[in-house]
Amino acid sequence: MGNQDQISVEKANQRRDQLVERLLQSTAGTFDIFSIYLGDRLGFYQALSDNGWLTPHELAAHTDTYERYVQEWLEQQTVVGILEVEDAHVEAQSRRFRLLPGHAEVLVERDSLNYLAPLAQIVVGATYPLSSVLEAYRTGGGVSYGDYGVDLREGQAGMNRATFLRVLGTEWLPSIPDVHARLQDDPPARVADIGCGYGWSSIGIAQAYSKVFVDGYDLDEPSVKRANDNARKAGLSDRVKFHVRDASTPSLAGHYDLVTAFECVHDMSDPVAALRTMLHLAGETGAVLIMDERVGETFTAKGDELEGFFYGFSVLHCLPAAMAEQPSAQTGTVMRPKTLRRYAEEAGFCDVEILPIDNFFFRFYRLQALCPAA
Ligand SMILES: C[S@@+](CC[C@H](N)C(=O)[O-])C[C@H]1O[C@@H](n2cnc3c(N)ncnc32)[C@H](O)[C@@H]1O
């Protein structure tokens, strides 16, 4: 074997070992996600946060669950560093466990910007129709958003809720001066929120701007029902209403001062038709704002972690969901700025501006109906 061949073999062996190491870490990460899902859905974290140190028997009693399972979960969570045990040496049933200080904010406090329990729920939801996803890869078909079930919907809503309630109307919209001014002005502004899901963006806008009326539109019926419940609980039913409507059909009409689409354009089977609807709704005077994933400008062979994160959602959920309706633009989660520009142009917009709003996950686009004067 020549020197070069020897070096190639060594490099290949090194890569092999790195992949072995990585798969072991990924397996641990996957178990983290699924065990956090259990703790979240069964109310374990909430009970631990409310009560402090608990034995398996006490946690099972608080959550109406089966003690032996609870004991196993508590031990697993302690071994992986999410919980702590008061004294590991006492008999198993007598051990007392609690959340490590700092962890409750991430796992329980839904108003915190650090709340990430819904991430576990959305990942579990993304794997729910896995056999249908396998079939779609073979046939070129899709898997409808509804088929991903309640965990996907709830996880999605829970991930964005705090940001929509705390940041959208207090930082993001105020950073767009003309939009901010119009939303405060008379006559009261009208907002259309396309692909609204559980409605937290619409509610966040209405809470921040006390005069505006918001119509949220989504084609997923269970989401619209939950959105109307959420508006009612927030005491906003008179100003915030949600409707089951497909944005890519002309059935959506009216005039709005602001038309938004938060994290949904890449999910649409016909994004151009939906953008055309948004153009009509805003007319020449309304503003059109799109928030979508902050993916790279171009495909790079070794992308960063965030790009990998978005591709993960794409291969399991966003692309199959976007292909449920045919024909489909087949976008996927990784909708690059140049793709959105192309869609906007095809829909009849004159220009797309990337707004200087700084966010780790999202990029903000303002679509202009009219061309800037020469
Ligand atoms: C990823 S979720 C985003 C929900 C919400 N905007 C948020 O940020 O949490 C995408 C949403 O777009 C909706 N959607 C997809 N295509 C649509 C269409 N053509 N018209 C209306 N809603 C659509 C889905 O039903 C889903 O609720």
Check whether 253 has a pLDDT greater than 70: yes
292 lines ligand 1 (CB under 6 A): no
Q: Is the pLDDT of residue 373 over 90?
A: no
Atom of ligand 1 lying closest to residue 223 CA: 27
Question: CB-based burial of residue 231 (10 Å sphere; 0-12 exposed, 13-18 middle, 19+ buried)?
Answer: buried
Nearest CA to ligand 1 atom 12: 195
Say if pTM beats, i.e. exceeds, 0.85.
yes
- Rounded CA-CA distance 341/297 in Å is 12
Q: What is the mean pLDDT of residues 116-125?
A: 98
Average pLDDT over residues 15-40: 97
Residue closest to 161 by CA, chosen among 113, 193, 206, 209: 113
Q: Is the pLDDT of residue 289 over 80?
A: yes
57-65 contacts: CB < 8 A, separation 24 or more?
A: 57/93, 59/97
Q: What are phi and psi of 192, to 5 degrees?
A: -110, 125
Q: For residue 291, which atom of ligand 1 is closest to its CA? A: 8
| Predicted pLDDT of residue 84 | 98
φ, ψ of residue 260 in degrees (nearest 5): -120, 155
Distance between CA atoms of 307 and 310, rounded to whole angstroms?
5
* β partners of residue 213: 190
* Average pLDDT, integer, range 200-220: 98
Determine the distance separating the centroid of ligand 1 and the alpha carbon of 181, expressed in angstroms: 27
Q: How does residue 177 score in pLDDT terms, banded at 50, 70 and 90?
A: very high
Q: Is the CB of 196 under 6 A from ligand 1?
A: yes
d(CA 336, CA 298): 7
Residue 250, pLDDT score: 86
Judge if the beta carbon of residue 157 lies within 6 A of ligand 1: yes
The Å distance, Cα 79 to ligand 1 centre, comes to 38
Residue identifier of the C-alpha nearest atom 16 of ligand 1: 268
Q: What is the pLDDT of residue 6?
A: 85
Q: Is any atom of ligand 1 closer than 6 Å to the C-beta of 145?
A: yes
CA–chain centroid gap for 149, Å, is 15
CA 370 – ligand 1 centroid, Å: 26
Q: Is the CB of 202 under 6 A from ligand 1?
A: no
Say if residue 195 is exposed, middle or buried (CB neighbours under 10 Å; 0-12, 13-18, 19+).
Answer: buried
Torsion of CA 206, 240, 152, 30, to 10 degrees: 20
> Band of the pLDDT at 232, cuts 50, 70, 90?
very high
Work out the pLDDT band at 4, boundaries 50, 70, 90. Answer: confident
- DSSP string spanning 69-89? HHHHHHHHHHHTTSEEES-TT
What b-and-e string marks burial along 7-36, b requiring 16 or more CB atoms within 10 Å of the CB?
eeeeeeeeeeeeeeeeeeeeeeeeebeebb
The number of the ligand 1 atom at minimal distance from the alpha carbon of 270 is 19
The position carrying tokens 């999202």 is 362
- Structural domains of the chain, with CATH: 3-107 (1.10.10.10), 117-368 (3.40.50.150)
Strands 258-262 and 351-354, sheet pairing: unpaired
pLDDT at 302: 84
Which residue's CA is minimally distant from atom 13 of ligand 1? 195
List strands edge to edge, sheet with 240-244: 240-244, 213-218, 190-194, 258-262, 287-293, 362-368, 351-354
Determine if ligand 1 sits within 6 Å of the CB of residue 156.
Answer: yes
H or E element that contains 41:
helix 3-41
d(Cα 334, Cα 307) in Å, to the nearest integer? 8
Task: Tell whether the model's pLDDT for residue 372 goes beyond 80.
Answer: no
Residue length of the chain:
374
**Mean pLDDT value across the chain:** 97
Scanning the structure block, which residue is given the tokens 């005069």?
Answer: 211
Distance 43 CA to ligand 1 centre (A): 28
What pLDDT, on a 0 to 100 scale, did the predictor assign at position 374? 56
177 preceded by a cis bond (ω within 30 of 0): no
247 lines ligand 1 (CB under 6 A): yes
Nearest C-alpha to atom 25 of ligand 1 is from which residue?
220
Kindly state the percentage of the chain with pLDDT values over 90.
Answer: 95
For residue 220, which atom of ligand 1 is closest to its CA? 25
**Cα 151 to middle of ligand 1, angstroms:** 15
Q: H/E element holding 233?
A: helix 221-233
